[in-house]
Copies of this chain bind each other. A is one copy, B any other.
Amino acid sequence: MTTGSPARAALIALDWGTSSLRAYRLDAAGRTLDTRHLPWGIMRLPQPLQDGAATTALSGFELAFEQACGDWLRAEPSLPVIACGMVGSAQGWKEAAYLDVPVDLQRIGTLLTEVRRDGGPSLHIVPGLIQRHGLPNVIRGEETQVVGVMADPATRSADSVLIGLPGTHSKWVSARRGRVTHFDTFMTGEVYAALRGHTILGRTMADAASADMAAFERGLKVAGAPAGRAGVLSTIFSTRALGLTGELAPESQADYLSGLLIGHEIAALADMLQQQGELPRIVLCGDPALCRRYIQAMQHYGLGTPEEAQNATERGLWHLAVCAGLVASPPTE
């Protein structure tokens, strides 16, 4: 539907997390025209230049924003800008409140937090989600991926959907008929990094030229085996003990540990789903190599083979901008 040269944009969309910033230039149909990936996460912003005693007028957030999309906005100054992720946290540019779960996905787009900027368009930040029943739980950024996944008509119409978002913190988000009803967090990725980098388990590991998926599979099965009943605080020690007995090479220990942790996560998830009865439609969304590990785990623990969603973040940002009235809804979809 776009015409002209260069193609005209309708929205700038930012996925702004703790460690990186992705910028998307989207056309009037929500298609991606350009993408940029910058290292300016909110915990590692560019430093404002020191000018004598005073700093420059531009904050680290403004400097990163300028690098992400300054030229795009100079070319088309009226473009609206939307952002999701930790940029809306207490440590972000401006805090965007958490919305209570259960919540309609449509509603998320109507409650954006505006950051007014001198001499440029405002930034509109997507709220996170909070779950207050049971142990409290929060999401910030993944709500937008969930919106993107649910933009698929087949997924949206499913009675019960479970969206898995593996990563530093894996999120598992349950939705029913366009409404987020529940979510769980597993710190699997961050625990893996901490165990590998800062415990005795890392001491006997050696870097491997390629992933050892047999070692991963071996670790995966432990959570469901009799030895897994002691729980992950116990089974992780087998990474070292198998090394001491010569049963696990140093190059295989990291993948074995990865399998152990993902196995415990998925075994617990499968157990909770079994208690609920009917298995939901499951969609995975994340780094492809990591998703392959999760798919292997889900197959082992009887959850079948999930669908995989593509480009969920930019699709989610687009849909939320439509809900917010920042862009016109495209005539067809």
Residues of A near any B CB (own CB < 8 A): 130, 132, 134-138, 169, 184-188, 190-191, 193-195, 197-201, 222, 226-227, 229-238, 240-242, 244-245, 247, 261, 264-265, 268-269, 271-272
Q: What separation, in Å, do the CA atoms of A244 and B140 have in the docked complex?
A: 12
Number of copies: 2
Assess whether A187 is in contact with B237, with CB atoms less than 8 Å apart.
yes
Q: How far is the CB of A200 from chain B (nearest CB, A)?
A: 7
Query: Are the CB atoms of B199 and A229 closer together than 8 Å?
Result: no
Whether B237 contacts A137 by the Cβ 8 Å rule is yes
Tell me, in angstroms, the Cα distance from A191 to B132 when the chains sit together: 27
Residues in B with CB closer than 8 Å to A268 are 229-231, 233-234
A-B contact pairs, 20 of them (CB 8 A): A132-B245, A135-B238, A136-B245, A138-B241, A184-B234, A185-B234, A185-B241, A186-B230, A186-B233, A186-B237, A190-B199, A190-B200, A194-B199, A197-B198, A229-B268, A231-B231, A231-B265, A232-B232, A233-B264, A234-B268
* Pick from B226, B232, B236, B242: contact of A231, CB under 8 Å: B232
Please give the distance in Å from A268's CB to the nearest CB on chain B: 4
For the complex of A and B, 6 pairs with smallest distance between CB atoms: A135-B238, A136-B241, A231-B268, A194-B194, A135-B227, A185-B237
User: CA of A234 to CA of B136 in the docked complex: distance in angstroms?
Assistant: 11
A-B contacts besides A136-B241, A138-B240, 15 pairs, CB < 8 Å? A132-B245, A137-B238, A138-B244, A184-B234, A185-B241, A186-B231, A187-B237, A194-B194, A194-B195, A194-B199, A230-B272, A231-B264, A231-B265, A233-B261, A233-B264
- Report the nearest B residue to A197, measured CB to CB: B198
CA distance A222 to B264 in the complex (A): 18
Q: Are B227 and A134 in contact (CB under 8 A)?
A: yes
Contacts of A137 in B (CB 8 A): 237-238, 241
Instruction: Give the CA-CA distance A190 to B240 in the complex, in Å.
Output: 14
A33 to chain B, nearest CB (A): 34
Contact B232 A136, beta carbon cutoff 8 Å: no
* CB–CB A191/B187 < 8 A: no
B234 touches A186 (CB 8 A): yes
- A235 & B198 in contact (Cβ 8 Å cutoff): no
Q: CA A137 – CA B230 in complex, angstroms?
A: 13
Q: Is the CB of B222 within 8 A of A135?
A: yes
- Complexed CA–CA distance, A283 and B129 (Å): 46
How far is the CB of A17 from the nearest CB of chain B, in Å? 12
- Kindly state the separation between the CA atoms of A265 and B233 in the bound complex, as whole angstroms: 7
A265 vs B230: C-alpha distance in the bound complex, in angstroms?
Answer: 8
How many Å lie between the Cα of A197 and that of B197 in the bound state? 11
B198 contacts A241, C-beta separation under 8 Å: no
Residues of B within 8 A of A265 (CB): 231, 233-234
